[in-house]
Amino acid sequence: MRTIKFRAWDGERMIYRGLHDRNWYSEDAGGKLVQVVHPDDKRLLSIMEFSGKSDINGISIYEGDIITYDGITSGDKAIIGEVKYSDVRLRYEYGKNGISYNLYEVTMPTPRIIGNRFSNPELLS
């Protein structure tokens, strides 16, 4: 059974909470409380769910993360894509044509997080 937890982009940084947490915490501030729960969380924040998987360095993979598979290329370019929900599943999408794979069925090496769509949008262009 996978752990259900969330993170959100508040416009400046990622903040985190578990399924039953009522507050958002900042990882970069050592778990310090940064924002209390608000009824409009979905409207005020970009909320992303934990995939249940970790990257090659043990970092939790969330929606919105940009990942690559070390050593796997398409031509001379590394395969880079975003983790997102599609058809009620977490999927890994890459390329301008939106090729996607179910994150749980990919038979590739363990991915490596190289950024996220908020802090590093240039990685997706």
Q: Which residues contact 24 (CB under 8 A, 6 or more apart)?
A: 8, 10, 15, 16, 17, 33, 34, 35, 36, 37
Q: In what order do the strands lie in the sheet with 14-18?
A: 32-36, 23-26, 14-18, 5-9, 46-54, 60-62
Four-residue CA torsion sign, 20, 23, 27, 33 = negative
Q: What percent of the chain is modeled with pLDDT above 90?
A: 15
Four-residue CA torsion sign, 85, 88, 94, 95 = negative
For residue 102, what pLDDT is reported?
61
pTM tops 0.85, yes or no: no
Mean pLDDT of the 66-75 span: 79
72-78 long-range Cβ contacts below 8 angstroms, 24+ apart: 72/108, 72/109
Confidence label for 81 from pLDDT (cuts 50, 70 and 90): confident
* Residue 83: pLDDT over 70: yes
Confidence label for 99 from pLDDT (cuts 50, 70 and 90): low
For residue 40, what pLDDT is reported?
62
* 87 or 115, higher pLDDT: 115
* Residue 15: pLDDT over 70: yes
For residue 73, what pLDDT is reported?
72
- Phi, psi dihedrals of residue 113, rounded to the nearest 5°: -75, 130
Mean pLDDT of the 52-70 span: 89
* Residue 31: pLDDT over 70: no
